Amino acid sequence: MPLVSMRQLLDEAAKGGYGVGAFNVNNMEQIQSIMEAARETQSPVIVQASRGARAYSQDRFLYHLMIAATELYPEIPTVLHLDHGNSVETCKSAIDMGFTSVMMDGSLLADGKTPSSFEYNVDVTRQVVELAHAKGVTVEGEIGCLGGIEDGHGSGGSGLEHVTDPVQAEEFVKQTGVDALAIAIGTSHGAYKFSKKPSGDTLKMDILIEIHKRLPNVHLVMHGSSSVPQELQDVINKYGGKLNPTFGVPVEEIQLGIKNGVRKINVDTDNRLAITGAIRKVFIESPEKFDPRDYMKPAREAMKKVVATRMTQFGQAGHAKDYAPIPLSEMVKRYASEAVPA
């Protein structure tokens, strides 16, 4: 099965009332972890790469690893998505490379740090929509700014400084024609999201619900949604790490979001924690080991377990064979038939 359109996966998720995890990758082992979890749970999957990941893996390596994934796991509908594109040019380069979905994060300027204006966001996002839809590629936009910084991207802060305005969200979708909308409700990039279990003061689920009421047919996206389980932190600290106490987004809050229009859930930190903990364990318990396979195999398995668990919790498990993939050429025709605002 070739790489498929994210729009198709999210449309199907909306029909089935479930969410789809979007898992970040930088290398072969992470891709293998995700694909093995998808096979084990029979899940459709979104594999995403940031600008930092594309630079680290040198782009063509990453792309061809994903082609290998579609050849080795032909039964799994798989999307290759650009996470947090910072400019029209960045998104275009991903589209030209063969990504089947891109995010234009116009909530920040091209430096990936400075909050932009609504007008700037609309302009750059609409440009990407026009480029992408002409090739059948899905577009995710963002309104409001997440907190924290990860992979050099983010506005910093707690995540509550630039919470999404539901009225602006509605207008943004109308003016841009995006397929999916990332919203800011208090979540943050990175491991250090909350100093205590988030409440209504720190995680604004009421705003998410309001946006869904205004945009019932738009696929919402939750970024910064790793749950940062205590047991993963404990493994790292047990084997020499020094993580400060932190809380992530509770799974039950994500599930509430799924009931209210969230179709894509971004997870990265949980997988990083799982990999790092497994590697540290080998280094401490078997210090004589020096073959990378001796620590990358358990690291790969640890990440697979986390991904499989999230796929089950998000409800995507068991849905890999629900539908036949729609070629991007067919998506081009579908987009052309949709009325996009001038």
Query: Per residue in 115-136, pLDDT tens?
Result: 899 999 999 999 999 999 999 9
Residue 267's pLDDT is what?
96
Do 243 and 199 meet the contact criterion of CB atoms below 8 Å apart?
no
Q: Is the pLDDT of residue 341 over 70?
A: no
Q: Which two tokens stand for residue 76?
A: 């799994």
Query: Per residue in 246-291, pLDDT tens?
Result: 889 999 999 999 999 999 999 999 999 999 999 999 999 999 999 9
Kindly report the average pLDDT of the chain as a whole number.
Answer: 92
Do 33 and 304 meet the contact criterion of CB atoms below 8 Å apart?
yes
% of the chain exceeding 70 in pLDDT? 92
Residue 279's pLDDT is what?
98
pTM score: 0.92
Give CA–CA dist 260/191, Å, rounded: 25
Q: Is the pLDDT of residue 161 over 70?
A: no
Q: In which band, very low, low, confident or very high, does the pLDDT at 144 lie, cut at 50, 70 and 90?
A: confident
The stretch 333-337 carries a mean pLDDT of: 94
- Greatest Cα pair distance in the chain: 65
**Number of Cβ within a 10 Å radius of residue 92:** 16
Q: Tell me the residue type at 331.
A: M
* E strand or H helix that includes residue 238: helix 230-238
**Number of Cβ within a 10 Å radius of residue 150:** 21
Do 179 and 198 meet the contact criterion of CB atoms below 8 Å apart?
no
Give CA–CA dist 339/342, Å, rounded: 9
Under DSSP, the state recorded for 151 is T
Q: Which two tokens stand for residue 23?
A: 């898992």
The answer for residues whose C-beta is within 8 angstroms of residue 238's C-beta and 6 or more apart is 281
Q: In which band, very low, low, confident or very high, does the pLDDT at 148 lie, cut at 50, 70 and 90?
A: very low
End-to-end Cα, the chain, rounded Å? 35
Q: Which of 83, 151, 165, 270 is catalytic?
A: 83
Q: In which band, very low, low, confident or very high, does the pLDDT at 153 lie, cut at 50, 70 and 90?
A: very low
Please, which residues bridge with residue 187 across strands? none
Q: What would the CATH number be for the domain defined by 6-336?
A: 3.20.20.70
Please provide the DSSP assignment of 277-305 as one string. Answer: HHHHHHHHH-TT---HHHHHHHHHHHHHH
Query: Per residue in 55-109, pLDDT tens?
Result: 999 999 999 999 999 999 999 999 999 999 999 999 999 999 999 999 999 999 9
Active site residue 83: yes
Cα 61 from chain centroid (whole Å): 20
Residue 151's pLDDT is what?
54
Residue 1's pLDDT is what?
72
Residue 158's pLDDT is what?
47
Q: Tell me the residue type at 336.
A: A
% of the chain exceeding 90 in pLDDT? 84
